[in-house]
Amino acid sequence: MTRTLWDSSVGKKTIMAVSGLIMLLYLVVHMIGNLKIFFGSGEFNHYAHWLRTMGEPFLHYEWALWIVRVVLVAAVVLHAVSAYQLSRRDIRARPAKYVHKKPRAGYATRTMRWGGIILALFIVWHILDLTTGTVHSGGFQSGHPYQNVIDTFSTWYGNLIYIVAMLALGLHVQHGFWSAAQTLGAGRATRERVLRTIANVLALVLTVGFISVPVAVMTGVVS
């Protein structure tokens, strides 16, 4: 069955849909966690610390976090590899373009591939910036996420990269969630409106939620 999934275009889309939904679920949790920054450094840092002690005493320190990380890395890799292979197939299936060109499909639909690449690059930067601190501006202090977040969003490029990526995320989720539902066989004429609405709401809430943090730092609401 694994072979059937991986070898079929429909199966590979299923893998994309499931891995995408896993990442989407993570993003909702991540976004809600981020909003804690509005309650001050104490609460935000405490929450960040709890992420490491989560599951104790059953789990050792940071185990839960590492489990989440492993699942996410698996999801990202499966999603990206499937996307790459499916895209190659799609491009090969339609080598000749029409002479008479027409604007096609919505913006979100047309930008799935580039948007995905932007998001992949963003994830690399985001981890190097706020998890490892490798490319962090102004002295990364592990264990002080509140200060680190403010440092990042005190630079123009930090804000720019983040906001562009979150807009790309919104577009990706808008088409991605709805597509995942279709791929997993949940699409039905009578459900069309509901699925579209959930996709739009998810996209909007995630984008606004994530962008609210840099905007708050820029405007001094969080400092």
Other C-beta atoms within 10 Å of 110: how many? 14
Name which of 112 and 216 has its Cβ closer to other proteins: 112
Q: Identify which of 74, 170, 81 has the alpha carbon closest to the alpha carbon of residue 119.
A: 170
Q: Going by C-beta distance under 8 Å and a sequence separation of 6 or more, which residues neighbour residue 151?
A: 136, 137, 138, 139, 140, 158
- Contact between 5 and other proteins by CB under 8 A: the answer reads yes
Name which of 16 and 217 has its Cβ closer to other proteins: 16
- Contact between 175 and other proteins by CB under 8 A: the answer reads yes
CA gap 200, 223 in Å, rounded: 31
- Contact between 193 and other proteins by CB under 8 A: the answer reads no
- Contact between 49 and other proteins by CB under 8 A: the answer reads no
Q: Identify which of 180, 159, 145 has the alpha carbon closest to the alpha carbon of residue 52.
A: 145
CA distances from 35 to 39, 44, 119, 149, 205 (A): 8, 9, 21, 12, 12
Q: How far is the CB of 84 from other proteins (least distance, A)?
A: 12
How many residues sit close enough to other proteins to count as binding (CB under 8 A)? Answer: 43
- Contact between 197 and other proteins by CB under 8 A: the answer reads no
CA gap 114, 121 in Å, rounded: 11
CA gap 35, 10 in Å, rounded: 37
Name which of 179 and 212 has its Cβ closer to other proteins: 179
Q: State which of residues 19, 148, 179, 207 lies at the interface with other proteins (CB under 8 A).
A: 179
- Contact between 1 and other proteins by CB under 8 A: the answer reads yes
- Contact between 194 and other proteins by CB under 8 A: the answer reads no
Q: State which of residues 69, 164, 192, 197 lies at the interface with other proteins (CB under 8 A).
A: 192
- Contact between 171 and other proteins by CB under 8 A: the answer reads no
CA distances from 53 to 41, 43, 210 (A): 18, 15, 24
Name which of 57 and 100 has its Cβ closer to other proteins: 100
- Contact between 13 and other proteins by CB under 8 A: the answer reads yes
Q: How far is the CB of 98 from other proteins (least distance, A)?
A: 6
CB-neighbour burial class of residue 209 (10 A; exposed 0-12, middle 13-18, buried 19+): middle
The interface mask with other proteins, positions 87-106, x = CB under 8 A, is --xxxxxxxxxxxxxx-xx-
The residues that touch other proteins, with contacts defined as CB under 8 A, are 1, 4-5, 7-14, 86, 89-102, 104-105, 109, 112, 175, 178-179, 181-189, 192
